[in-house]
Structure 1
């Protein structure tokens, strides 16, 4: 993995619903834009309940329905680990993915306890919008820096 790659780590509570969907959607988005080689993308959990397990079947079904490939398993990270792993002089930032939703739907609600798959579909749609919004934000930032 090249040091000059951009990195995105999507984190949610258990790493079986929201963060795998965000990871898969963001990876598909950058791949579709022929930017996949420029990114290292992963996801993790805050809690360790599901470590080693695949995503919730409803998350997998939602991604499959939208042709989003995914084959990772849940893992746990915590802030101390992330700070320790960050390269010296890192410019890493903690961001809310929902901040990049052009529709302003800032909170990506956990669909785990939903009785159907509607929450997973909503999470998918939010992740699509946020992926595009985040990439547009980065592009605007680069453009503005080049004009300065």
Structure 2
């Protein structure tokens, strides 16, 4: 009989309204497609507190919908001390995220802290924040989505 302990991942970005919810939605979709969603605990969170309780950015939601992900629901939350022992892996999106996670990491941290982009087969390690992209342009969000698909697929293939 397989172990009853679920594998777990937490995706982190600055505000939890762009990159990390896209990564979470992509990962959940992949788990559903593979029929293993019940074997995982998946969430996303913010390093900052500006957007707590809000839904993802409208451009992130539109991008997900454009790629056929229309069942994702999320409210932004802040990363907390317990996350560092609750999750197996905590993924940051860029170097600043990783520095902040390292600074906040409690002494009893059991999670592996990694950049999601480490799993990109195209070696595009940084997943750039599209929040400040001009107007309603979705190109930055679409790029984040495509990177997350590559990275999450690669990570899942290795898990």
TM-score, scaled relative to structure 1 = 0.84
1:95 aligns with 2:114: yes
Query: What are structure 1's unaligned runs of at least 5 residues?
Result: 139-148
Task: Give the Å deviation of 1:86.
Answer: 6.3
Task: Give the Å deviation of 1:82.
Answer: 2.5
Aligned residues: 135
Matched residue, 1:128: 149
Matched residue, 1:109: 128
Q: Which structure features the higher share of strand residues?
A: 2
Matched residue, 1:77: 79
Name the larger-Rg structure: 1
Q: Partners of 2:17 and 2:87 in 1: how far apart?
A: 24
Deviations along 1:97-144, whole A, 9 cap, x unmatched? 100010001100000000111000000000000011101222xxxxxx
Query: What are structure 2's unaligned runs of at least 5 residues?
Result: 89-107
Q: Which structure features the higher share of helix residues?
A: 1
Q: Partners of 2:8 and 2:67 in 1: how far apart?
A: 24
Contact preservation (8 Å) 2:46, 2:78: yes
Alignment RMSD (CA, Å): 2.1
1:119 aligns with 2:140: yes
- For the residue of structure 1 that corresponds to 2:43, the secondary structure is strand
Trace 1:1-148 onto structure 2 (pairs within 5 A).
4-68=5-69, 69-78=71-80, 80-83=81-84, 85=86, 91-115=110-134, 116-138=137-159
Q: Partners of 1:129 and 1:48 in 2: how far apart?
A: 28
TM-score, scaled relative to structure 2 = 0.79
The structure-2 alpha-carbon separation of the partners of 1:6 and 1:84, relative to structure 1 and needing over 3 Å to count, comes to closer
